[in-house]
Structure formats: C-alpha cells, structure tokens
Amino acid sequence: MSSTSTSSSGGSKLQKKVKNKEAGRYHEIAEELDDLQKAYDKVAKAKDRAFGAKKLGYLDQEIKTTEGLIDAQERLIEETKDYLEQDKGNLKQYGANFDPETGRLTNYDEMYEVNLK
C-alpha cells in the first residue's frame, strides 16, 4: 500500500516553527478553555450524584460554568478572526489574492512558484 503523505517523520523545521507559533497564539485561551471544561465536568459529575436542593445548587454552578465556556469560545472565535486578518495581510505582501466571498486563497500555485521554490 503506498502512502500519499509528503511529510517526513517529524516534519520540516518550518512546519514545526509554524505549529509552535500557532500553539503560542492560542495558548492562554486554550488553557482557560481546558480549565473551564474540567470545572464543568467536575460540577456535572457532582450534579449527577446529588439530589434535592444540592442538585439545584449544582445546576446553577453548571449553568455558570457553561456560560464561562461560551464566553471563552466567543473570545477564541474573535481571536481567530483577528489572526486570520493578520495572516491575510502578511500573505498579501507576497502577492496573495483571496476570493472576497469565501476568503480562500486563489493564486496558491503562482505564489508557490514565485516565493517558495
């Protein structure tokens, strides 16, 4: 069976650099989301085991934690949009063109030939 993958084991230095940069971009919000998810899971588990007034208290906590998750995810979306615009601006310096409706790069092959070969 032949593989169509073009990456070597471990990837190139450029691929690793890009991955590290992207991980750094979202590091704080990713940690916050992880912490909120853990808190949600803990409250949900406690709620499932509780009865009566205690269960109502855990339901309130679960709602607050869910609202926190929603807020953090909305901030992540906004951060991602901001970085997308920054990246588009950086790519435009190299002659990139983007479809105004879809935002997709329309001249990848041309850019590759001129800038990356």
pLDDT tens digits, 12-21:
665 666 666 6
Sole residue written with tokens 């853990």: 38
Instruction: Give the chain's largest Cα–Cα span.
Output: 68
Task: Express as a percent the part of the chain with pLDDT over 70.
Answer: 79
Q: How far is CA 28 from the centre of its chain?
A: 11
Residue-range domain boundaries for the chain: 13-116
For the whole model, what pTM was predicted? Answer: 0.69
- Rg of the Cα atoms in the chain: 22
Closest CA to 60 of 71, 70, 47: 47
Measure the CA–CA gap between 38 and 65, rounded to whole angstroms: 10
Checking if the pLDDT of 76 tops 90, the result is: yes
Lowest mean pLDDT among 18-27, 31-40, 57-66: 18-27
Please tell me the predicted confidence (pLDDT) of residue 5: 40
